[in-house]
Amino acid sequence: MVEKTIEKRSVKTTTKNTPKFIWRRKHLLGLQDLSREELIHILDTAKGFKGISKRSVKKAPTLRGKVVVNLFFEDSTRTRNSFTLAASRLSADVLEFTAKTSSVSKGETLRDTARNLEAMGIDIVVIRHSAGGAPHLLTRCIDACIINAGDGYHEHPTQGLLDIFSIRELRPDLSGLKVAIVGDIAHSRVARSNIWGLHKLGAEVYLVAPPTLMPSGIEKMPVTPCYNFDEIIGQMDVLNMLRVQFERIGSSVFPSVLEYSRLFGLTVERMKRAKKDVIVMHPGPLNRGLEIESEVADGPNSTILQQVSNGVAVRMAVLFLVNQAVVLEKKK
């Protein structure tokens, strides 16, 4: 009885904010594909789910009887646990699957892995993979809903969503908001998802990085590239500090860690130039002292931990919505 009320309540939140909108996507592959309305719909749905995490009984029956697979081909703690928690809060059964990247010569191919999982009876696959487009490949070989939990340096849509969700909690209107994404843009799926999402919601995106970590073709993206952090930091409303991904950077793209942190790290010193109420974000895990100094990461402007708790709500919303799309499709 109690559970039923909760379900109604969360759905109600959704319908109240966007009365006529019906979510129809059974996959979430990236924020580039989404319309502004779809983005807002997910964020509003997540708002409803955030309440559940604060209750003493943190559970809704929305996905009862459904199986969610966490199919992770890359190491992840935060994202994986966040999805697991989100799925369990919606009463789904969660299957944890850790696998090695496929290849021709050794191991099982991604397609075979997915088809085997499908044969066991699954509903939603959450995939993390080192190759851009791996989730797209899954949509072509199995029927389940596919949620991209990070593919190569293509997109990490739920991270983008939770970043935007966290900004909106503090600044409800994103239009004209200046957001700097700082760091290894070239190899960052977080940057890409943030760029598309923020742009669609009207924010102005600045990319700050050494030219060697700026991807090619950047001039065609809706962003302002910048090589001098100090020049723009004072105008920014949000600073999203990316993790320097040593594991993805093949050859030396900057001379030393010291030089990087001097030029692009968010130090206490540099924070003095920023707006007083600037929002400091980081997708984690932190390289303390490299892209961000501890005092800043743990300081009053930091939303890093809120990002983590919002991640669960956003992922609940995404799991809920893709499942709802399937339900609607079946009704047709």
Q: Is 178 in the site for another protein (CB under 8 A)?
A: no
Q: How many residues bind another protein (CB under 8 A)?
A: 31
Binding-site member from 99, 221, 257, 308 for another protein (CB under 8 A): 221
Q: What is the DSSP code string of 225-238?
A: EES-HHHHHTT-SE
Instruction: Look up 78 and say whether it is catalytic.
Output: yes
Going by C-alpha positions, the residue among 292, 243, 242, 244 that lies closest to residue 271 is: 292
Binding-site member from 5, 101, 212, 294 for another protein (CB under 8 A): 101
> For residue 35, how many other CB atoms are within 10 A of its CB?
10
Segment near another protein (CB under 8 A); pick from 12-20, 212-220, 267-275, 279-287: 212-220
Instruction: Look up 79 and say whether it is catalytic.
Output: yes
Q: What is the DSSP code string of 161-226?
A: HHHHHHHHHH-S--TT-EEEEES--TT-HHHHHHHHHHHHTTPEEEEE--GGGSPTTGGGSSSEEE
Q: Which of 20, 106, 272, 332 is catalytic?
A: 106
The DSSP H or E segment spanning 319 is: helix 304-331
Q: Which of 62, 79, 84, 303 is catalytic?
A: 79
* Distance, CA of 89 to CA of 85 (rounded, Å): 6
* Distance, CA of 39 to CA of 42 (rounded, Å): 5
Q: Is 98 in the site for another protein (CB under 8 A)?
A: no
Please provide the distance, in angstroms rounded to a whole number, between the alpha carbons at the two ends of the chain. Answer: 29
Binding mask 20-49 for another protein (x = CB under 8 A): ------------x-----------------
Binding-site member from 74, 151, 163, 293 for another protein (CB under 8 A): 151
Q: Which of 41, 50, 80, 128 is catalytic?
A: 128
Q: Which of 27, 47, 154, 156 is catalytic?
A: 156
In whole angstroms, the minimum distance from the beta carbon of 218 to another protein comes to 7
In whole angstroms, the minimum distance from the beta carbon of 65 to another protein comes to 31
Binding-site member from 19, 121, 176, 250 for another protein (CB under 8 A): 250
Q: Is 225 in the site for another protein (CB under 8 A)?
A: no
Binding-site member from 2, 57, 104, 119 for another protein (CB under 8 A): 104
Q: Is 275 in the site for another protein (CB under 8 A)?
A: no
Q: Is 181 in the site for another protein (CB under 8 A)?
A: no
Instruction: Look up 199 and say whether it is catalytic.
Output: no
Strand order in the sheet with 238-241: 224-226, 204-208, 178-182, 238-241, 279-281
Instruction: Look up 9 and say whether it is catalytic.
Output: no
> For residue 257, how many other CB atoms are within 10 A of its CB?
15
Residue 213: both structure tokens together: 């970590």
Say if residues 14 and 44 touch (Cβ distance below 8 Å).
yes
Instruction: Look up 189 and say whether it is catalytic.
Output: no
Site of interaction with another protein (CB under 8 A): 32, 101-104, 109-111, 129-134, 136-137, 141, 151-155, 189, 192, 215-218, 220-221, 250
Q: Which residues are the active-site residues? A: 78-79, 106, 128, 156
